[in-house]
């Protein structure tokens, strides 16, 4: 704005912050796309029992591998066809969305709590606390996530709970790094010093002075980690070490369809496309949120 001296007074109309935000949101197509796809997946997951008129666990060995609706010979009873045990593919896809979202959200919450606690402590207190946390972050970064997850799951057996716990306790590093550096930038600012000077408790300073100013970073990292966790779950399930059958999981569906790749390619393309869209949507949403809440950081 400062570089536009030609502007006249009439064009500079005061815009309310709310309207500004709305304008930013609706002008950001990536954000809109991400938001709508995510909303769609959430709706599918929540209303799965209403949308699917089949039970995802009911097998019918006499109706195996029926093709989906865009191919010849499809069965109106099974819009997306059936898998190699004759289970309705649409039902499995919808219920699979529940698993993916559940894993994404719970993992992001667990890792978010661990990472934020460590990062804020390191950034706010500095000194020895910072040294310890930095050491922990380094240790964590030195561990290859997939290998550690594989080892733990192989040791304790795969199940939904174990996958969520393993991923939750492995994916906190980015939270810690981002929180640490953002808190460091803020802790020396005047209003924090003022709060300290009037005798506010540390808890109060952290919760009401620091957190509100770093929460936009937190949300961005959270969306990224959600997408990351969903992909990792799919990878683990694909390798047979994640969610165990017959639970419908997109990764597992891809893994089960792999053998049929040449002749029944839709068995892997349908869950594959679903996974791709969901992860893309979450990433776009994260990017969009960053752009909207902190436009100055837009690169």
Partner 1 sequence: MKPFLATGVIALTTALSCGQVFANKSDDTLHTAFSKELESVDFYFQSAREGTIFARQVWDGLVYRDQTTGDYVGNLASSWKWVDETTLEFKLREGVKFHNGEEFDADDVVFTVNYVVNPDNHVTVPGNVNWMKGAEKVDKYTVRITTNGPFPAALEYLSGLVAIYPNDYYAEVGPSGMALKPVGTGPYRVESVEPGKHFVLKKFDGYYGGPKGQPSIGTIDIRTIPDINTQLAELFSGGIDMIWNVPADQAEQLAAMDQFTVANESTMRIGYITMDAAGRGGEGPFAKKEVRQAIGYAIDRQAIVENLLKGSSKVVNSACFPSQFGCEQDVETYSYDPAKAKALLAEAGYPDGLTVDFYAYRNRPYAEAMMAYLADVGIKANLNYLKYSALRDMQKKGSAGFGFLTWGSNSINDVSAITSQFFKFGDQDFARDEEVKTWLDTGDKSVDDKVRKENYSKALKKIAEEAYWIPLFSYNSNYVFSKDVAFTPTPDEIVRFFDMSWK
The C-alpha atoms of residue 19 and residue 16 are separated, in whole angstroms, by 5
Token look-up 């996530």 returns: 145
Tell me the angle at which helices 266-293 and 250-257 cross, rounded to the nearest 10 degrees: 150
The C-alpha atoms of residue 288 and residue 219 are separated, in whole angstroms, by 11
By CB under 8 A, the count of residues binding partner 1 is: 26
Quick check: 75 binds partner 1 (CB under 8 A)? Answer: no
Of 134 and 159, CB closest to partner 1: 159
**Three-state secondary structure call for residue 201:** coil
| Both structure tokens of 91 | 């039902």
Quick check: 258 binds partner 1 (CB under 8 A)? Answer: yes
Quick check: 42 binds partner 1 (CB under 8 A)? Answer: no
Quick check: 84 binds partner 1 (CB under 8 A)? Answer: yes
CA terminus-to-terminus distance, the chain: 18
Quick check: 293 binds partner 1 (CB under 8 A)? Answer: no
Quick check: 265 binds partner 1 (CB under 8 A)? Answer: yes
Of 14 and 72, CB closest to partner 1: 72
Quick check: 30 binds partner 1 (CB under 8 A)? Answer: no
Q: How far is the CB of 261 from partner 1 (least distance, A)?
A: 5
Quick check: 273 binds partner 1 (CB under 8 A)? Answer: no
**Given 244, 269, 283, 293, the residue binding partner 1 (CB under 8 A):** 244
Q: How far is the CB of 125 from partner 1 (least distance, A)?
A: 45
| Both structure tokens of 58 | 């009911």
- Contact indicator for 176, 119 with CB cutoff of 8 Å: yes
Of 60 and 130, CB closest to partner 1: 60
- Contact indicator for 249, 243 with CB cutoff of 8 Å: yes
Quick check: 33 binds partner 1 (CB under 8 A)? Answer: no
Q: How far is the CB of 4 from partner 1 (least distance, A)?
A: 54
- Contact indicator for 186, 210 with CB cutoff of 8 Å: yes
**Three-state secondary structure call for residue 276:** helix
Of 6 and 263, CB closest to partner 1: 263
**Given 173, 209, 233, 256, the residue binding partner 1 (CB under 8 A):** 256
- Contact indicator for 277, 27 with CB cutoff of 8 Å: no
CB environment 113-150: b (16+ within 10 A), e (fewer): ebbbebbbbbbbeeeeebeebeebbeebeeeebeeebb
**Given 20, 36, 58, 113, the residue binding partner 1 (CB under 8 A):** 58
Quick check: 246 binds partner 1 (CB under 8 A)? Answer: yes
Q: Per the omega criterion (within 30 degrees of 0), is the bond before 90 cis?
A: no
Of 33 and 57, CB closest to partner 1: 57
- Contact indicator for 284, 132 with CB cutoff of 8 Å: no
Stretch that binds partner 1, among 2-10, 58-66, 161-169, 187-195 (CB under 8 A): 58-66
Which residues are near partner 1 by CB under 8 A? 57-59, 61-62, 64-65, 72, 84-86, 157, 159, 240, 244-246, 256, 258-265
């Amino acid at each position: 704005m400062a570089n536009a001296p030609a502007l006249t007074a009439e064009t500079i109309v005061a815009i309310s912050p709310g309207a500004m935000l709305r304008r930013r949101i609706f002008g950001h197509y990536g954000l809109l796309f991400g938001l709508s796809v995510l909303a769609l997946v959430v709706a599918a997951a929540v209303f799965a029992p209403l949308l699917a008129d089949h039970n995802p666990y009911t097998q019918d060995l006499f109706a195996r591998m029926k093709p989906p609706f865009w191919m010849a010979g499809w069965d109106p009873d099974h819009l997306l066809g059936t898998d190699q045990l004759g289970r309705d593919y649409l039902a499995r896809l919808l219920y699979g969305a529940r698993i993916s979202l559940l894993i994404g959200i719970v993992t992001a919450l667990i890792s978010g709590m661990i990472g934020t606690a460590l990062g804020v402590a390191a950034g706010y207190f500095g000194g020895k606390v910072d040294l310890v946390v930095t050491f922990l972050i380094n240790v964590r970064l030195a561990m290859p996530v997939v290998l550690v997850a594989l080892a733990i799951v192989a040791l304790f057996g795969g199940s939904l709970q174990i996958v969520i716990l393993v991923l939750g306790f492995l994916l906190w590093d980015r939270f810690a790094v981002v929180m640490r550096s953002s808190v460091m930038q803020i802790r020396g600012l005047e209003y924090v010093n003022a709060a300290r000077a009037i005798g506010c408790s540390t808890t109060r300073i952290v919760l009401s002075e620091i957190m509100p100013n770093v929460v936009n970073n937190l949300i961005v990292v959270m969306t990224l980690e959600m997408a990351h966790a969903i992909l990792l779950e799919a990878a683990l399930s694909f390798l047979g070490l994640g969610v165990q059958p017959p639970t419908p999981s997109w990764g597992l569906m891809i893994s089960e369809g792999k053998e049929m790749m040449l002749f029944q390619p839709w068995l892997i393309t349908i869950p594959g496309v679903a996974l791709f869209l969901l992860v893309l949507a979450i990433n776009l949403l994260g990017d969009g949120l960053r752009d909207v809440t902190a436009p100055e950081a837009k690169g």
